[in-house]
Amino acid sequence: MLKSSESFAFLLILVATAAIFSSSPVKCDKVKTVSLTNWNLSNENKTITLNGLKSPIGVYSALRNLYGDVLYSKNDEALRWIAKDSWTFSTTFSATLDVNTKLNLTFHGIDTVSTIRLNNKILGLTDNMFIRYSYDITTLLQPENVLEIEIRSPIQVAKERAGDLMAKGFNAPPNCPHVRENGECHRNMLRKMQMSFGGNWNLAAPSIGLWKPVELEYYEVAIMRDVDVAMRRNDTHWTLDIRVFLTTGVRQNFYAELLFIAAELLDTPLTLNRRMILYNSPLIEFQVHIPKDKIKLWWPNGYGEQKLYPLYFVAKCYTEINGPTLRSKTKSQKTINIGFRTIELEEDLDDYGRNFYFKVNDQPIFVKGASYVPSHILPEHSSKESSLEHIIKSAKETHLNMIRVWGGGLYESDTFYNLTDHYGLLVWQEMAFSGATYPMSNKDFVESVRVEVYQNAKRLAFHPSFAMIVTNDEIEWYLMKNKTEFGDDSERLEDEYRQLFMGTIRHELNVISRNDFNPRAGPMISTPSMGVEESKKDLSTEPQNPNYGDVHFWDDEKDLWDPDIYPRARFITEYGFQSLPIRSSWNRTMYPDDEIADIVVHRQHDPKGFTPITKMISRHFRLPATVSEENIDKLIYLSQITQAMAVKTATDLFRSERTHKRTMGAMYWQLNDAWVAPTWSSIDYFGNYKLLWYWSREFMAPIAITALIDSKNDRINITVTKDEHVDDIEKPESYNITIYTYLWSELYFRRSNSFEISVTTNGMYKLYIELSQVFNQIFTINNSFLKFNLVKDERTLASTYIFPTKFHQVVGMTDPQLEIQFVSDNCQDKNNKIRTIYYSFIISVKKPAVFVYLELYHPEVHKYKFSENGFVLTEPIKIIHAEIELKNEYCIKLSADHVKVFHLNQLYAGSSGIGYSTSERPNFSDITANNNTENGEGVTSTSARPTTTEAEGITAD
């Protein structure tokens, strides 16, 4: 993905390269790569055979048309037999070699335990899906070659390895998941995507296949695989420390030359003349100095632009001092995009413990993020660019500046990291280890991990978005929580943990470290943890200590709408609540005879079942929330409200605790999904948005206002936060806060309270208002609610609400007499080929309508996005815009049957229903949207009594 400026720079590179090599005295050739894309598949006893499969491919994908999609109905269980069998992929190819040419057969990803045979001879064995395996087949070639990859059942291999370990007197817990997770045992025995064995939010689909390309590589001496660029700056220059990693099959030292082109940075290409390369450490390293005035910085989302610079490398490798022979395949090339930025993790001692926050380009940032899980349970589909771009762009649209690549998933594709570079999302990268112990007594396992870390670190390190490395997810916490249960094994398991993560993995990460550069933070050993500095000492006994490092917050037995329950921690890496996806997403994965309630129950993998959701609903709404056919739409709606409010409350609290850098990051669990199920995501598997996503555009905004009831002190804590880039001076700006008091029974506010505040650049402002100041006279916590507007120059920049009591205790809520009118903006002709259409919805009410929720139901709709959803209507008319992506290329016309509208009043006030109508496009000239936002460190705090004015024409008794 290239912006126009990057495309122009790349064109300059190509022109310069052509000019340089047209004058070269030696006409050498490029390393040649041929992909093997046509495959046959058979199971162990040959009862199933398929031909003509295109790679990358996995067995579940290959059998989809015959036996069904693993994501449909209850196929996660019905198709589990696939993973219990062994499967063989085979193909034939021809190859001819020139003199001195070598031929590699390279597997960029085999999932997972396999035997590779070429012409009936064993070529090699694989047991790690995260590793690139490469074999020199030069001497094994025949005119026609038969290649077979026999991949064993991951379920059976994991069981065998666990049995072998136990026979030696060792144990590596956990052995099996909770029964409700409907998963497979012994996931930690294999270096495989851990979530493929199932979990408390995802299905078990233990994949088998060629999940990345298989290639023939024709070369003479070496191939350029990866480039790592670390950088630092001084008062006048940026210094790029560049490492070019080569792979060679020769067993002698050789020569290399390198051409380096940076069209926007260097006036002329840089040529590194012949130098000797050690075959056992094939590396070219050099430095380039760039004047600061030529550089435009790369910034995280919300703080500035994401300027990327293309770098082009051409390496010639040869063994003879006189240079390469005519037409020898000695030339490798690679293009990467870099961004100029510095990133630091600050962990200074303070009055509480150690702070924990990121500085980018010397700018402290409050991290707003979410955890990312692989976009598909089948890894061969995980790098689909359209899916990745939708998810990452959606994260940007909700003002996130960091994305956490969770340790239970994958090292993501190059496409993924190119997108995070482009959209400005810093990456908190976890190695692929999660919530388990691992078999350190297996020496082959340890050696495999070494290669895994070495290869993936080199591939990812240059990306400007690559900000933080963590070697595992929740394993320190797992060891501490289960210390008593482990008994005599506890000491051994802790020692093995130190060997693997503090020893092996941290050591291998040195491949991307620099003594005098600091290109990224970490490695941090685990999450949650006491941070990088404390984890250098030893295994933590308090990984959830809120005064150090990061914490994960999970306590859904409590009221998650109550800000008092959340930790005042330095950095929160996990928190959230579960909800159900929209009804149309469920419908797309069901067979005609499926009942939705049955499917919903089948896919609920949380060991607690639906208890947390139903408890939260009954706590705040005192409504029956059962999983039944007639009740499912209500459950979807209420679960999404409870999720959105829980995450909003937590995030508001965390952002308000930024004072003195007490809390400097909040990343909720989770951004996206791998199937349609009750999960913690804000974006469902098909890319549709839950209410959490819509709300997060407000509560994650660069400038935001939060209002939280402080029940211990009988007051409302109000915070205005600004996240923005600071140049040199922190400039205070003036704003107005207006508090509107509404009666549930009336559409227009009955009282307003306004006051002026001043907020510094990248800062915050806090004030406290006694509850008695706003709930008095005719206004009680039962009959009224509050709206808070942040205004500058008569423009509303941010809003929030307080609903001071449980909704079942509300007095005065009534039928809003809601009517909806909708018109198509661009889809008139059915014969028009178009993939995206636009609609406008004009919603009118006569009384306040709470949490108005729109959902589309149409068989031709792929996914859709509203301008708002789950909103509160305290105005007579509101216009909502919809962007609708279609499955096919023809216009559709929405009718009342395709649009569902829910609001909370329906559940309490006996609403008579929703009125629908259609019309021509309305006149919007008198309607404006006040959504201007600005970006958020100085703190002002006060306890203020705002001035009070009555709404025009209304008096309060």
Q: Where are the alpha helices (DSSP H) in 738-854?
A: 771-774
> Is 211 in the same domain as 249?
no
Q: Number of folded domains in the chain? A: 5
Residue in 846, 845, 839 with CA at minimum distance from that of residue 822: 839
> Is 590 in the same domain as 710?
no
Residue 784 lies in a domain: yes
Write phi, then psi, for 128 (nearest 5 degrees): -145, 115
Q: What is the DSSP letter of 210?
A: E
Give me the CATH number covering residue 748.
Answer: 2.60.40.10
Name the domain boundary from 216, 248, 282: 216
Residue in 687, 697, 736, 682 with CA at minimum distance from that of residue 302: 697
Beta bridge partners of 336: 311
Compute the distance between CA of residue 697 and CA of residue 694 in angstroms, rounded to an integer.
6
Cβ-proximal residues to 948 (8 Å cutoff; 6+ apart), any chain = 751, 752, 753
CA distances from 282 to 169, 220, 254, 276, 468 (A): 42, 15, 9, 10, 27
Residue 952 lies in a domain: no
Record the pTM.
0.93
Residue 797 lies in a domain: yes
Q: How many CA atoms lie within 13 A of 941 on its CB side?
A: 9
771 by Cβ neighbours in 10 Å (0-12 / 13-18 / 19+) ranks as middle
> Is 673 in the same domain as 767?
no
> Is 588 in the same domain as 542?
yes
> Is 80 in the same domain as 194?
yes
Compute the distance between CA of residue 781 and CA of residue 810 in angstroms, rounded to an integer.
8
> Is 488 in the same domain as 411?
yes
Compute the distance between CA of residue 579 and CA of residue 566 in angstroms, rounded to an integer.
20
Residue in 834, 589, 458 with CA at minimum distance from that of residue 75: 589
Residue 53 lies in a domain: yes
> Is 733 in the same domain as 637?
no
> Is 614 in the same domain as 693?
yes
Give me the CATH number covering residue 865.
Answer: 2.60.40
Q: Are 469 and 507 in contact (CB under 8 A)?
A: no
Q: Strand 795-802 relative to strand 214-219: parallel, antiparallel, unpaired?
A: unpaired
Name residue 408's amino acid. G
Extended beta strands in 764-806, E state = 764-770, 784-792, 795-802
Q: Are 330 and 316 in contact (CB under 8 A)?
A: yes
Give me the CATH number covering residue 609.
Answer: 3.20.20.80
Largest Cα–Cα separation, the chain = 99
Cα angle 481-649-625, degrees, rounded to a multiple of 5: 80
Q: In what order do the strands lie in the sheet with 402-405?
A: 521-524, 466-470, 426-430, 402-405, 367-372, 665-668, 572-574, 551-552
Q: Are 631 and 538 in contact (CB under 8 A)?
A: no
Name the domain boundary from 784, 806, 828: 806
| Full domain range(s) for residue 59 | 32-216
443 membership: H or E segment, kind and range: helix 443-460
Cβ-proximal residues to 724 (8 Å cutoff; 6+ apart), any chain = 302, 303, 702, 703, 761, 762, 934, 935, 936
Q: Are 272 and 330 in contact (CB under 8 A)?
A: no
Q: Where are the alpha helices (DSSP H) in 891-957?
A: 905-908
Instruction: Tell me the pLDDT tens digit for each residue of 34-81.
Output: 999 999 999 999 999 999 999 999 999 999 999 999 999 999 999 999
- The rounded radius of gyration (Å) of the Cα atoms in the chain is 30
Q: Which two tokens stand for residue 868?
A: 């708002």
100 by Cβ neighbours in 10 Å (0-12 / 13-18 / 19+) ranks as middle
| Orientation of helix 632-656 relative to helix 611-621, angle to 10° | 80
Compute the distance between CA of residue 181 and CA of residue 435 in angstroms, rounded to an integer.
15
Q: Which two tokens stand for residue 48?
A: 């199933």
Helices (H) and strands (E) in the chain, counts: 20, 49
Coil vs helix vs strand at 755: strand
> Is 621 in the same domain as 485?
yes
Give me the CATH number covering residue 177.
Answer: 2.60.120.260
Residue 594 lies in a domain: yes
The residues of the chain scoring below 50 in pLDDT are 2, 4-5, 8-9, 15, 18-25, 918-943, 947-957
- Counted residue by residue, the chain has a size of 957
Residue 21 lies in a domain: no
Q: Which two tokens stand for residue 334?
A: 């690679």
Compute the distance between CA of residue 508 and CA of residue 501 in angstroms, rounded to an integer.
10
Residue 139 lies in a domain: yes
pLDDT number for residue 92: 98
pLDDT number for residue 938: 40
Coil vs helix vs strand at 808: helix
Coil vs helix vs strand at 246: strand
Compute the distance between CA of residue 793 and CA of residue 800 in angstroms, rounded to an integer.
19
Q: What is the dihedral of CA 108, 110, 111, 112, to 10 degrees?
A: -120
Beta bridge partners of 801: 787
Name the domain boundary from 323, 350, 377: 323
Compute the distance between CA of residue 8 and CA of residue 264 in angstroms, rounded to an integer.
10
Coil vs helix vs strand at 703: strand
> Is 662 in the same domain as 738?
no
> Is 529 in the same domain as 587?
yes
> Is 521 in the same domain as 563?
yes
Residue 26 lies in a domain: no
> What DSSP string describes 596-640?
HHHHHHHT---TTTTHHHHHHHHHHH-------GGGHHHHHHHHH
Q: Which two tokens stand for residue 238?
A: 């940026």
Q: Are 941 and 766 in contact (CB under 8 A)?
A: yes
